[in-house]
Amino acid sequence: MITLTQLAENPHSHLARLRDTAPVTWLPALGGWVVTSRALALTVMRDAETFTVDDPRFTTAQVTGASMLSVDGPEHTRHREPFTDRFRPGAVRDSFADSTQHETDRLLDGIEGRGTAELRREFAGPLAATVMAQALGLEGVPVPRVLAWYEAIVRSVHELTEGRPAGTEGPAAYAALREAVAGTVDAGSPHSLLVTAARSLELPDLSANAAILLFGGIETTEGMITNLLFHLLHAPRQLSELRAEPDLLDNAIEESLRLEPAAAVVDRYATRDVRLADADIHTGDLVTVSLAAAGRDPAVFPDPDRFDLRRPNSRQQLAFAHGPHYCLGAHLARLETRIALRSCLDRLDGLRADPDRPAAVRGLVFRKPADLWVRWDR
């Protein structure tokens, strides 16, 4: 019997066993079906009519209300469309490359002379929060406050996922964010995405989507940066290859996403009775797609547990999901991770894991090291 603790601590051997025996399996610990093969993961995520997010059990919506993350069909389009242009590849490059480099340099300026740091909270998280606040045009809110809201919402979602009450911190953080969104809209800056989106969305919908974009943008990018650093620092040979061939960085990002997607699972709910592989799924059943298992499917990725800088198909990972709910901020997250990693390797000479404070990737839904302590030569 697989437990939630096993799925949070080290799920990959358990997921591999499930994939080998039955790629769609009822898992009592989750109270639903888990999908572990890449092909079937794609089937579920592409078919929003049969496998929907629009269900009152969807955990994030319980904290923020309906958003692009938790509705399907025309309602999904209505929620998502006001934000799409800002996150297209060209717009991301033109709008965020310079400012992301500037913020990366500012954060590294603060730690470079020390020779040691904890890079998740001191670097990856603040970078992601700053960039996302800028992307939304959220005005007058200090980055530590944005991070505090994000962490409170993540905790509430985590509690709900594990079957406990959400608590009060997450809803309180969302209420504070909603006030900040309203203040930004009232200020009326023509450069603010929130102000632009307010032409199409009323404040409750605007605030819910702002929360989702902040939540997803910080969580995904913080996890991407931290997990990639973790993988490289624990594979010294591959790190040396990357230093010698900087053009491998994009593939390193995709390979890290394949091995440990920042969001390990996505939830769907069956709208009708359906047979998937050998499983008879009933209307209303929870269907959890394991993005972590899909990324290690040996039918697609030979020797799937190995971090391989030169893997030719790493970009076939599903860390940003697929179908109508493909991550809106994927291009921005990649840009931030590319700049962050290149800058760390350029500026922190001899960057290495701190042997006295080992790290491990953990998490049921959001997977990354709780702390990533490193050293370098001053």
| Structural domains of the chain ordered from first start | 4-375 (1.10.630.10)
CA within 13 Å, CB half, 155: 14
pLDDT higher than 80, residue 370:
yes
Q: Which residue has the tokens 């203040």?
A: 183
Instruction: Give the orientation angle of helix 330-347 with respect to helix 203-233, to 10 degrees.
Output: 40
| Per-residue model confidence (pLDDT) at position 147 | 87
Percent of the residues in the chain that have a pLDDT greater than 90, as a whole number? 85
| Per-residue model confidence (pLDDT) at position 285 | 98
Single pTM value for the model: 0.94
Q: Which two tokens stand for residue 94?
A: 């033109």
Q: What confidence tier does 63 reach under pLDDT thresholds 50, 70, 90? A: confident
| Per-residue model confidence (pLDDT) at position 121 | 95
Burial 279-291 (b: 16+ CB within 10 A, else e): bebeeebbbbbbb
| Per-residue model confidence (pLDDT) at position 1 | 82
**SS3 of the chain: helix, strand, coil, percent, to 5:** 55, 10, 30
CA 7, 264, 344 angle in degrees (round to 5)?
Answer: 115
Q: What CA–CA distance (Å, rounded) separates 255 from 232?
A: 11
Rounded average pLDDT over 140-162: 86
Which pLDDT tens digit goes with each residue over 117-129?
Answer: 999 999 999 999 9
Q: What does each C-alpha distance from 170 to 94, 145, 226, 297, 321 come to in angstroms?
A: 34, 13, 24, 35, 24
Lowest mean pLDDT of 21-30, 147-156, 262-271, 273-282, name the range.
147-156
Q: What does each C-alpha distance from 240 to 127, 194, 230, 235, 345 come to in angstroms?
A: 25, 43, 14, 9, 11
Q: How does the average pLDDT of the chain come out, rounded? A: 95
Lowest mean pLDDT of 109-113, 144-148, 367-371, name the range.
144-148
Which pLDDT tens digit goes with each residue over 159-214?
Answer: 887 788 888 888 899 999 999 999 999 999 999 999 999 999 999 999 999 999 98
Sorted by sequence, the CB contacts under 8 Å of residue 333 that are 6+ apart come out as 217, 220, 221, 224, 320, 327
Nearest to 228 by CA among 343, 148, 321: 343
Q: What does each C-alpha distance from 172 to 63, 156, 336 come to in angstroms?
A: 9, 10, 29
Q: What confidence tier does 333 reach under pLDDT thresholds 50, 70, 90? A: very high
Q: Which residue has the tokens 């974009």?
A: 213
Q: What CA–CA distance (Å, rounded) separates 304 from 86?
A: 35
Which pLDDT tens digit goes with each residue over 291-319?
Answer: 999 999 999 999 999 999 999 999 999 99
Q: Which residue has the tokens 């269900």?
A: 55
Positive or negative CA dihedral for 48, 49, 54, 58? Answer: negative
| Per-residue model confidence (pLDDT) at position 150 | 85
pLDDT higher than 90, residue 157:
no
Q: What CA–CA distance (Å, rounded) separates 53 from 269?
A: 6
Q: Decide if 150 contacts 214 (C-beta within 8 A).
A: yes
Q: Decide if 28 contacts 281 (C-beta within 8 A).
A: no
